[in-house]
Structures are given as structure tokens and as C-alpha cells.
Amino acid sequence: MSRRPPRGEYIETDTGNKVARKATLVGTQNIMLGGKTVIQPDVMIRGDLARTIPPAQSASGGPANNTAVAIGRYCFLSRGCCLRPPGRMYKGVFTFMPLRLGDHVFVGPGTVVQAAQIGNHVHIGGKVVIGEFAIIKDYVKVLDGSVVPPNMVIPSFSIVAGQPARIIGEIPEGGIEAFELRDLYKTVGNNPQPTAP
């Protein structure tokens, strides 16, 4: 009789996504994971809050691709964070818009993200609140405990902190490598590789 391997804490998909068993993903049909993304336990992703009006006259394709949350590659969602699509009144109807995360996005523990769009290589600290329809461009660092108000646009290469969040600095020239999350991805999972010395 073959021995079944012990149940790990993470489910690893064939595209390299590591999803914790204790994460709460509601409406997974509308959640797109880019690949090599880590979702830690107690994360909550609301994929059921999808857009209600179809984006165009859908003559093409039966089941419309109704993505509520799209996450890029090498993203890292820490414990207890919550991703939910933003919603507002649009043409007289309340509707949810898709939440798009780019690649190499780190979301800290306990953070709530309701943005419309987050670019690539963004580091979001812990206990941050990102208000509805905020747009965060590439290479941004959001410090712990910030509250990004709704509809704020954070330009690339900025460092943002405070309540309400203000731009307090710029990413220095040599600071770009710190955003890469490939090494962090390898340290998590059922067979974690030790960090490189």
C-alpha cells in the first residue's frame, strides 16, 4: 500500500502557487493567481464580489471571464490580510470593479486592500488599510499602519506613510532589488528552502 505524504500546510498548484489550507478564498472562480504566489493562512480573498454588469456585449464566449481579483506572479499575501474588490455606484447600479495586483507584491499581515490597481514590485506593510479605488503604481513602499484614503493615486518610486497616507520619501537608486520576492517565495511552503546566506 503506498504511503500518502503527510498533509502540508500549503496546497501547491502546478503553476507554483502556494495556498494555505486555512486561507479563506471565497468565489475562487473569479480569483486569478499569476503563478508562484504565496497565500498564507488566515488570508481572506473575496472573489464573490465580482462585477455585475458585463464589460461589453458578450457575443463571444459563454461563461464570461468575470475576474474579481487578479494577482500577478511572485506575490506574497501575509497572514490575516484581506483583499476585496472596491465597489461604487456606476451608471445607477452599484457594482464591484476588479482588483488587480501586479507582480512581486508583498502584502503585510493584517492589511486590508480595497484598491483598484496595484502595480509591480510594491511592498505593503502590516496593518495597512488601502481605501477603495486607490491606485498604487510600481516600486512603491507603503509603511506599516498607513491608511491610504480612497481614490488616492500613489506615483511610482514613492514611500508612503501616515493616516491619511502621504508621500514621505522616494525609493533610492539602489533600493530596487529589495522588492524582489523570488527568495521569499522559496522560504515558504511545505518544503521550505533555507534563505541564502
Residues near other proteins (CB under 8 A): 11, 13-15, 17, 19, 21-29, 32-35, 44, 46-50, 52, 63, 82, 84, 87, 89, 92-96, 112, 114, 127, 129, 131, 145, 147, 149, 163-164
Nearer to other proteins, 46 or 121 (CB): 46
CA–CA separation, 96 and 52 (whole Å): 7
Nearer to other proteins, 10 or 139 (CB): 10
Q: How far is the CB of 197 from other proteins (least distance, A)?
A: 33
Nearer to other proteins, 122 or 129 (CB): 129
Query: Which has the closest alpha carbon to 29: 63, 52, 79?
Result: 63
Nearer to other proteins, 148 or 171 (CB): 148
Nearer to other proteins, 22 or 182 (CB): 22
How is residue 59 written as a grid cell? 457575443
Q: How far is the CB of 54 from other proteins (least distance, A)?
A: 14
Write out the DSSP string of 57-97.
Answer: ---S-SS----SEEEEET-EE-TT-EE---EEEETTEEEE-
DSSP letter (8 states) at residue 190:
S
Nearer to other proteins, 37 or 139 (CB): 37
Q: How far is the CB of 174 from other proteins (least distance, A)?
A: 32
DSSP letter (8 states) at residue 150:
T
CA–CA separation, 134 and 127 (whole Å): 17
Dihedral sign, Cα of residue 148, residue 153, residue 159, residue 164 = negative
What values do phi and psi take at 29, rounded to 5?
Answer: -65, -25
Residue 113 Cα to chain centre, angstroms: 8
Q: How far is the CB of 12 from other proteins (least distance, A)?
A: 9
Q: How far is the CB of 178 from other proteins (least distance, A)?
A: 26
Q: How far is the CB of 163 from other proteins (least distance, A)?
A: 6
